[in-house]
Structure 1
Amino acid sequence: MQGHGQAQPPPSTGLLVFLRVLFVVISVCSFGLLGWVMLLRLALVTRKSLDWGLLVALFAAEALGLVLLGTEPGEEIHTPGGWTGLALLLGSLVPAISYYLAAEIRHFHALAYAHRTYAGGQSPAHAYGYPQPQPPSPYAAATGPHTPVPQTAPIPRPPSSAPIPSSAPTPPPQRPAPARIDQVRAELDELSDYLRKHEDGR
């Protein structure tokens, strides 16, 4: 089985901006007749069913607009059908351009983020758009089946002439408590004798 593979680097920003401007200019200069071209590019890039559906809807609206404009008897628009056809051509142009730019920028931004995440050392499973692994449940560990861990025999170590240092820390040396108590008691006795002599001298 093959995994997701390495994240492909997105095209350069300059190329993307050039293509966006090119497709928008084509749509505007054709007065909406070629507005479906930019949605076709978007659907080919993102491969989302929503973008394919919007492409079909825009193509149908432009075709209906052309049919309604073609039924006009003269060169100028006089009938409600002609005005409806013109509204379909020009009215669908603004939302189509807005959606095209927003969806394409969002798509390539997510692609660049996934590429940066993969290049930074994180696995593609943690990149944008992939499911994140769930942390193990403590209950599953407590109730699940336990597999016994095989015990291995200890590896014998060769005898060495140097003594092995003990890993247990040695306690710090403590002063004997009775000697300190005796010293304090003696100082208190001297102080009390001094105070008695001082009172007797008064």
Structure 2
Amino acid sequence: MAIATPRPWSRWNVQQRVFALLLGALAAMAVAAGISVSLAPARISFSVANATTSRVPVQGSPGLLNGFYNLTLVANNTSRRTQVRFAAVSAQIWYSATGYVLAGEVDAAAALPGWRSPRDVAGVAFWAKYGQYDHKAGTARNGKAGKELKAEKATKQDCRLVVEAKVRFKYGLAVTMPYTIRVSCFHVNFSSSSNVSVQCS
């Protein structure tokens, strides 16, 4: 009775199998690279524009004025393909090495709704109260005269803005986990009449 023996691999069969393995490895590497690129965050640049101060009369007390810092934070999604969605944006205005005031956290769902497209540039208005003053006496009225007068004095010089943004990124159908971006914007001059844009890093 004849016993069947397996045919030895020809040189061509071996080359085909090696080639197929190489193609499979390359395809797996391409998929992994694609996932890595798609889930990598886009680069968002921030800048500050229209930095000013204002004083608003207190309702019911015409002799009292509330002092405010005002600015526009400009967010630029510099990516060519990645969309970004803002969950929240907040800011601190440092008028000295140890003193700062908090700007109100922006409702990003209202100010920057939905997914922002690649190359999108959007501005968000911020304000922060830095003191309350007696218009007639010219003094602080909220029990923090020293700190508030320093804040008032700081409107004539450079400040530092610290921004924190919570975002997600989307590439095609892939959406990333939440990211927190923190940047600092140096030499923000709230008394400058030129309102020069300040880049953050």
Please classify the TM superposition score into its range, dividing by the shorter chain length. Answer: under 0.3
Kindly indicate which of the two structures has a greater share of residues assigned to strand.
2
Q: Which has the larger radius of gyration?
A: 1
TM-score by length of 2: 0.19
